[in-house]
Structure 1
């Protein structure tokens, strides 16, 4: 191997390896809200509440080779059309990315980064619900890659339907 080649034969640029590099810089609670609007009466209610969980993922570039990914989780528990509790969590992660091909940025930001930070967001959410006087809410693991692929397929289908409608 010559001095101008790096690991696996990848050429070096200014003495640095040109292979893609990803690292988590920091994780943090960006926003957390817990509401228990019917306390103390809620603790006398019978039966299990209906739990509705919604997810949203956002990302943006915050510096050279630094990206923020925010996993937003909204949970609403209702029983007999009354709110038992509501939690809104925005959990962020800062990621350093180097030499990542442009076409791989979005899949990383919307599938892999949320997978990395989800266990930590899940714990924050469970603790908030428990601290509100309810059994901890343990969310099932989520396949963010499958969600990302499904969203891409929906977008492609919508474009195809728009093209067909435009040709008619």
Structure 2
């Protein structure tokens, strides 16, 4: 065995981590609904102070083709007028899906990969759609804050863990 300058044997190169390949094969709006409630009820004079609430949920499933997965991001956005009895202003629901070809991800890491990395790839397109729809619907364009999909994933794991730890309710006779 050869020695290097300091007299020690050269180190063997570390084994390379598996090469992860991810390709977005398709992305599309699966379902969308926008309701301009202000326009439906008629405009009323008064101050408008919007309160916007965004709910995000995710879904992923393996497709019948090898290494293909479908990931769906679901956004439910409600805007209410804080200055006027919390009256609704608009309601937007969007399901945006992506078809991904994923190779090299270990099976035990696939679930978090699908629910963290794939939605990160889709989010800029969701943000643009929400902005365009709210602007075209008669409101100032809504630019969604970046969603922390890692935190969302951890919250869901914690919720499921807490759900499993609660004792099942026993019927009372």
Compute the TM-score of the two structures, normalised by the length of structure 1: 0.79
Ranges in structure 1 where 5+ consecutive residues have no aligned partner: 1-7, 11-17
Rg larger for: 2
CA contact under 8 A between 1:129 and 1:137: conserved in structure 2?
yes
Deviation at 1:58? 0.8
Whether 1:121 and 2:122 are equivalent positions in the alignment is no
Deviation at 1:70? 0.7
Ranges in structure 2 where 5+ consecutive residues have no aligned partner: 1-13
Distance in 1 separating the partners of 2:38 and 2:151: 37
Deviation at 1:81? 3.6
Which segment is superposed worse, 129-138 or 150-159? 150-159
CA contact under 8 A between 1:34 and 1:86: conserved in structure 2?
yes
Going by fraction, where is helix more abundant, 1 or 2? 1
Whether 1:71 and 2:73 are equivalent positions in the alignment is yes
Task: Give 1:44-123 correspondences, 5 Å limit.
Answer: 44-62=45-63, 63-79=65-81, 80-123=85-128
Distance in 2 separating the partners of 1:148 and 1:53: 16
Match for residue 159 of structure 1?
164
Cα deviation digits, residues 100-136 of structure 1 (max 9, x gap): 2111111011111111111110110110000011001
CA contact under 8 A between 1:54 and 1:73: conserved in structure 2?
yes
Q: Per the alignment, do residues 9 and 107 of structure 1 end up closer, same or farther by CA in structure 2, a change over 3 Å counting?
A: same
Deviation at 1:20? 3.0
Match for residue 31 of structure 1?
31
Distance in 2 separating the partners of 1:118 and 1:111: 11
Length, aligned pairs only:
151
Distance in 2 separating the partners of 1:44 and 1:57: 39
What secondary structure is seen at the aligned counterpart in 2 of 1:39?
helix
Compute the TM-score of the two structures, normalised by the length of structure 2: 0.77
